[in-house]
Copies of this chain bind each other. A is one copy, B any other.
Amino acid sequence: MGLTAGTLRVALIDRDGAFVKTLANRLDAAGWQHRLLGGIVPLDELVAMKLNALVLDMSVLPPEEAWPYLERVCGMLPGLGVVVCTNESTVAQRVRGLRLGADDWITKPSHPEEVMARIEAVVRRRRRSTAEPERGPLVVGELEVRGDQYQAFVAGRSADLTRREFELLQALADAQGSVIERGEIYRRVWGYEMAHGDRSVDVFIRKLRIKLERLSPGWTYIHTHFGIGYRFDPEPVDGSAAEPPAGPPAAAGQGSAVAAVEPAR
């Protein structure tokens, strides 16, 4: 069972003293970080907490608020595990909740151990992707992306990236060679669904490009794929020389010719 990195971050939106208390004890015992919230919390605050899962008691809110809230949370935070927990419920309610995006629905009273096991199950499912690709210092082109410093360097010189810029860079770099759609980038960096018409990604791409260029002219790192998103792939600015150094054989390869910075027809 060594899979689940020991410590999960969980938030409870509940008011059932007894339930919360015993659960909290267990959580502490297991070394999970947790936080008790009394009621609705704005989505961006939830994002800021960097939670793995949220346990929500629907009864802390009147139904006409609870359902929409559940829907918004599930819809906007695709990376968050959501476990609904109620005293009683009908089949219809459970089905509705699950269809709205909840990952599990537990009926109280319920043993804390089972609640935890279900949270684990939910998180495990979503984690598989997050396959933590060790933030080992990553070197691409003449750029060095250091996750432990939240910075990128070239020959020891810092790119002076802000937090967002760095996260964006890292998200791009982690995808090594494949195109990532804007929405996906937004999801990975900002943590929730991108609103229609949001241009944040573009603007930050630009900021990033400027800083990278200033630091490492002679290389192009970020390629635009019209109508799709961006692709990170270090490429000597010239373009005549073919082979970029360390080429992940399967993927990008010399396919770097892809329609981005090319003058085209």
Contact = CB atoms under 8 A, between A and B. Distances in A.
A251 to B, nearest CB: 7
A4 to B, nearest CB: 9
A113 B90 CA distance: 12
A153 B255 contact: yes
Contacts of A120: 98-99
Interface string A63-107: 000000000000000100100000000010011001101111000
A132 interface: yes
A146 B254 CA distance: 14
Nearest to A100: B1
A160 B259 contact: yes
Interface stretch (A12-20, A36-44, A190-198, A221-229): A221-229
Nearest to A144: B255
B91 A114 contact: yes
B129 A227 contact: no
Nearest to A259: B160
A94 B121 contact: no
A117 to B, nearest CB: 4
A52 B127 CA distance: 17
A163 B1 CA distance: 32
A182 interface: no
A229 to B, nearest CB: 9
